[in-house]
Amino acid sequence: MPRIAYVNGAYVPHADAAIHIEDRGYQFADGVYEVCEIRHGFIVDLTRHLDRLGRSLSELRIDWPMSRAALTHVIREVVRRNRVRNGLFYMQVTRGAARRDHVFPAKGTVPTIVVTAKRTDTAVIAKKGAEGIAAITVPENRWDRVDIKSVGLLPNVLARQKAKEEGAHEAIFVDPDGTVKEGAATNVWIVDRDGVLRTRPADHGILRGITRTTLMDVAGPLGIKIEERAFSIDEMLAAREVFITAATSICFPVVSIDGKPIGNGHPGSIAQNIREAFFDVAEKTLI
Ligand code: PDD
């Protein structure tokens, strides 16, 4: 079955989908994106993903490419046309195509919008969720507006590649003072020595993950105490549990960091419980 992409008003075969060579996303990473999970035929947390898209666009002063209702229609159509029941959709909006110049293009330049969808291997994801993953730490080297979900991801790309080359799944950015930030494409959580589930406040320095926000709704009813409080690399290495969250994986236990085991070196029960309860609590939009 051919894959279908949506590009600037048209549904086109994925292999033929293209944007202009002077698109500002291509030349300046002048654009934003969202990745959202599709599970059992439902889009997960669509409202929150669209809210965050709106915030990213507004922070960069890029116009919405179409109304929110129209975009929701396009997303559902792309997911349907690709017959994805378990997978992801990706959407990217850039400031549009214009003659290369760092300053914003003329008013009326139309934002570029791309929406794609793909299936994921649920067995591979379930295995990592059950067995846990290895992570490494890397020095933070990103700009200070990582709260914007911009397509400028070069430090994240290099960090993930380094993790892969070292046999790990994720790279965790750490500030020079030893404070843990987030993963290259995930938020990071610990269960500290007192049994408190902690993640760094999302006021600055990290992306406010949608999975992170929904996880807070999940943890309350499970009786888990949560604190938005930063932690150091030493606290992370000494934690009872460490896990990472993102729309692509929901919650993966981290069983080793920089080659050192976390806790007893096996996934912890809190990560497991959260993983199991997540979809009962998350918003589900029928495709
Ligand atoms: N990344 N932090 C960073 C730097 C991220 O890139 C992501 C998501 C997250 C988690 O956000 P959410 O829970 O909303 O997925 C945190 C996506 C999945 C990606 O780039 O593929």
Task: Verify that 11 and 25 share a domain, yes or no.
Answer: yes
Q: Which CATH number do you get for residue 37?
A: 3.30.470.10
State the pTM of this model: 0.97
For 164, the domain range is: 125-286
Which are the contacts of 62, defined by CB distance < 8 A and separation ≥ 6? 30, 31, 32, 93, 94, 95, 111
Q: Do 105 and 138 fall into the same domain?
A: no
Co-location of 38 and 137 in the same domain: no
* Domain closes at, from 120, 135, 150: 120
Residues 163, 110 within the same domain: no
Pair type for strands 187-191 and 260-261: unpaired
Last residue of a domain, one of 120, 143, 158: 120
Assess whether 64 and 178 both reside in one domain: no
**Cβ proximity of 262 and 256 under 8 Å:** yes
CA 213 to ligand 1 centroid distance, Å = 12
Which pLDDT belongs to residue 1?
Answer: 72
Question: Which residue has a Cα nearest atom 3 of ligand 1?
Answer: 185
Kindly state whether residues 85 and 217 are assigned to the same domain: no
For ligand 1, is residue 248 a contact (CB within 6 Å)?
yes
Q: Are residues 129 and 100 in the same domain?
A: no
* Whether 149 is catalytic: yes
The CATH number assigned to the domain holding 135 equals 3.20.10.10
Based on the fold, state whether residues 96 and 132 are members of the same structural domain. Answer: no
> What pLDDT was estimated at residue 233?
98
Ligand 1 pocket check: which of 37, 47, 149, 251 to mutate, most ligand atoms within 8 Å of Cβ? Answer: 149
Q: Are residues 78 and 172 in the same domain?
A: no
247 Cα: distance to centroid of ligand 1 (angstroms): 7
H helix count then E strand count, the chain = 8, 16
Q: Do 130 and 259 fall into the same domain?
A: yes
- pLDDT of 22: 98
Q: Is the dihedral of CA 98, 101, 106, 107 positive or negative?
A: positive
The atom number, within ligand 1, closest to the CA of 90 reads 21
Residues 56 and 177 in one domain: no
Look at ligand 1, atom 19, and give the residue with the nearest C-alpha.
185
C-beta of 245 in contact with ligand 1 (< 6 A):
yes
Cα-based angle 155, 156, 162 (whole degrees, multiple of 5): 90
Last residue of a domain, one of 89, 120, 151: 120
pLDDT in tens, the chain (287 residues): 789 999 999 999 999 999 999 999 999 999 999 999 999 999 999 999 999 999 999 999 999 999 999 999 999 999 999 999 999 999 999 999 999 999 999 999 999 999 999 999 999 999 999 999 999 999 999 999 999 999 999 999 999 999 999 999 999 999 999 999 999 999 999 999 999 999 999 988 999 999 999 999 999 999 999 999 999 999 999 999 999 999 999 999 999 999 999 999 999 999 999 999 999 999 999 99
150 with 208, same domain: the answer is yes
pLDDT number for residue 2: 81
Question: Into how many domains does the chain fold?
Answer: 2
Q: Tell whether ligand 1 has an atom less than 6 A from the beta carbon of residue 271.
A: no
